[in-house]
Structure 1
Amino acid sequence: MNLALTVLEIVAPVFLLAAIGFAWVKLGFEYRIQFVTQLAMTLSVPCLIFVSLMQAQIEPAALTALSLASVAAYGGVTLVAWVLVAAMRLSRRTYLAPMIFGNTGNLGLPLALFAFGELGLSYAIVVFATMAIWSFTFGIWLVAGAGSLGKVLREPLVGATVLGAVFLWQGWQTPTFVTNTLTLVGQMAIPMMLITLGVAVARLSPVGVGRAVWLSAVKLAICVAIAWGVAEAFDLGRVAFGVLVLQVATPVAVTSYLLAEKYGADAQEVAGLVVVSTLMSVATLPILLAALL
């Protein structure tokens, strides 16, 4: 009973905030998703990343282990997903990126924070940064036929991750007034991302729901199995173990739909995966959390 209550306390705020965004759109209120997303990814999330890493109490060995484990986990998911998509004769441009990349930002960061505290958030940022770099290079190549290393280097969240890691490594701290300002800006990130997730799901028009259901289930099984195995192989601590599995197992990211729309893949099929996998996560993530806590 106590475990069930703990899991409910973790997931309820996450899905309630997403539900607010969903209801906001359905009630006909305006929500400028492009502006909010740009504000979050350009300003608020980088501030959250930098301060979280700067103030984190992470041993260098643990940080290195999690970084290598994140690379290994996404590498394994990529290989298995590639084989699956090829075996099912599905369009690589449409289906492979959604099968690999999860919603580690909008959904993964707040879940890690609520489940594992500030240390969990710091670890989650490492996994998030790994996924983001892979998504902006290999992910864009899958959909568009060309990667974008320059785009990765220009992303504020990548710069914030590198700078935060340097501050963590050196033990540096910004002046108190700067830290307080960055903290306030960063605190906007999680509620904005969750509400925006709800807005995005409300605006998508899914097709191919039957296929989306079984592909979402297969994605979850693959991601959990590989992340769990990698976490065991790298002998990660309890928090790092839980965060890695949780982050890799998040549902299909809305960015997969945006990339499909931008580069001419079947965006409506991807929309189906986003909506179905996100709705499925309402039931599956609490079960996964119960196993990890």
Structure 2
Amino acid sequence: MKELVNLQLMMFALIIIGLILKKAKVIGKEGQKSMTNLVIDLILPCNIIFSFMIKFSSKIAQDFMVILIISILIQVFCVILGSVLYNKCSVKRKKCLRYATICSNAGFLGNPIAQGVYGMMGLTLASIYLIPQRIMMWSEGVSVFTEAPTKKEMLKKIFSHPCIIACEIGVVLMLTGWRPPHFLQETITSISNCNTAMSMLVIGMILADADPRTLVDKDVLFYSVIRLIIIPFCVFIPCLMFHIDSLVKGVSVLLAAMPAGATTTILASKYDCEEEFSVKLVVFSTAASLITTPIWSLILMKV
């Protein structure tokens, strides 16, 4: 409990620092974009490779298969939810809500939380969990805003994504037991250690973009309940019923409880789909997750 509280307080402090840096104009919009790209293209891939530098065993193989199946089922469930829940909203709002239901911020925010709560193995399982979501992001997710991408274009985006490449490298390292030269391992580890701090700072900068006076919106509230409470609950109950391993269950539920992905705003802006509303979705659900994530962590510790 003490470690969990310290983790949440540390992350909250980093988020506040990011918010202050943005409000004080120490870092502008372009700087924030560069930091986001740095995390996605370098720091997070190194974090993923680092997580796979563990000794392989039949138990790990079993856990990988189970969490991969769970993740695939969650993605299918989220696609169905996104298709049926928001029919009363305007067309443009519905696109934002559907995408944000399919593509959460599990990679950006989930990895540091999984590592903080469950350690190295939690981070490794989180990396496997995220593979189906990253595939959906570049297929079903993008097609929400546009015409469905061609198969060739979709596959290119999936397999050229730095995090997918990092997963492939990590699996090879884990299965073969081969390790890079010591200096390279130290380099990967050093960059990996930046993940939590950099991710939280960027999230703080995202929060700084919203006006608190206009943040509350009935559609945003409805989405946040679905994303942060209903979806993880629908993962938690079957995991209990089928007696899923506690570590696999914990990582699956926590990552299912992540807020809207920042790419929601990027795509909404690009395709003229109520950018201001998409910012509210990301900011409010992220702020609310600072409350719901510790609650889910406590529930998982008790059950």
Q: Same fold (TM over 0.5)?
A: yes
Mapped to 1, the partners of 2:171 and 2:223 lie a distance apart of 36
- What amino acid does structure 1 have at the position aligned with 2:147? G
Contact 1:105 1:193 in 2 (8 A): no
- What amino acid does structure 2 have at the position aligned with 1:157? C
1:89 deviates by: 4.2
Q: In the superposition, relative to structure 1, how do residues 30 and 80 fare at CA in structure 2: closer, same or farther (>3 Å)?
A: closer
Structure 2 residues without counterparts, runs of 5 or longer: none
Aligned counterpart, 1:22: 19
Q: Deviations over 1:250-277 (max 9, x none)?
A: 1111111111111221211111111111
Contact 1:101 1:253 in 2 (8 A): yes
Contact 2:81 2:101 in 1 (8 A): no
Aligned partner of residue 102 in structure 1, secondary structure: coil
Match runs of 1:140-289 below 5 Å: 140-147=142-149, 148-204=154-210, 209-211=216-218, 212-232=220-240, 235-289=243-297
Aligned counterpart, 1:107: 109
Mapped to 2, the partners of 1:96 and 1:280 lie a distance apart of 19
Aligned counterpart, 1:13: 10
Mapped to 1, the partners of 2:188 and 2:169 lie a distance apart of 14
Mapped to 1, the partners of 2:238 and 2:175 lie a distance apart of 25
Q: In the superposition, relative to structure 1, how do residues 123 and 192 fare at CA in structure 2: closer, same or farther (>3 Å)?
A: same
TM-score, scaled to structure 1:
0.91
Aligned partner of residue 86 in structure 2, secondary structure: helix
- What amino acid does structure 2 have at the position aligned with 1:10? L
Match runs of 1:36-115 below 5 Å: 36-55=35-54, 59-86=60-87, 88-91=88-91, 92-115=94-117
Aligned counterpart, 1:118: 120
Q: Deviations over 1:182-228 (max 9, x none)?
A: 11122222211110111122124575622212321132232112222
**Bigger mean CA offset, 170-179 vs 21-30:** 170-179
Contact 1:208 1:272 in 2 (8 A): yes
Contact 2:228 2:259 in 1 (8 A): yes
TM-score, scaled to structure 2:
0.88
**Bigger mean CA offset, 214-223 vs 228-237:** 228-237
Structure 1 residues without counterparts, runs of 5 or longer: none
Mapped to 1, the partners of 2:55 and 2:114 lie a distance apart of 14
1:230 deviates by: 4.6
- What amino acid does structure 2 have at the position aligned with 1:105? G
Aligned counterpart, 2:132: 130
Percent identity over paired residues: 25
Contact 2:228 2:289 in 1 (8 A): no
**Bigger mean CA offset, 183-192 vs 244-253:** 183-192
- Aligned-residue CA RMSD (Å): 2.0
Question: How many residues are matched?
Answer: 289
